[in-house]
Amino acid sequence: MEFTYERKINYYETDRMGVVHHSNYIKFLEEARCAWMEQMGIPFSKLERNGITIPVLAVNCEYKHHVTFGDTINIKIKIKEYSGVRMTVEYDVREKNSGNVVIICQTKHCFTNMSLKPINLKKHEPNFSKKFEEAYKIIE
């Protein structure tokens, strides 16, 4: 399933130079990831009700082009790796009108219980795992 999250840049997200501050992109990725998971039918609230969390283990971003207040970005998400215990998500972020690549990022995650002990989603919650597997297989 290809998923694109569209987001307009707010003034308060820019720095003194008028461009989006680099730290805000991490927030944008999380917004997109939450919307993507909601579309898949497994919003974070549902995961948490089932005793599951998905902490971020690592973030890697390459900043390619700046965006400013009023610009709109499109964030395309795909699963690069999925094992049931860990997952790597890739993001292609582009400015909507120009198509310029703004950032290319990856986030690495693991699945845990509410005590942050790693779990295998395939065993713990197979229905959720199946949705991630389907999203991963479409990209392969």
Measured between alpha carbons, how far is 11 from 6 in angstroms, rounded to an integer? 17
Q: What is the dihedral of CA 24, 117, 130, 135, to 10 degrees?
A: 20
**Active-site residue numbers?**
15
Using an 8 Å Cβ cutoff, are 119 and 112 in contact?
A: yes
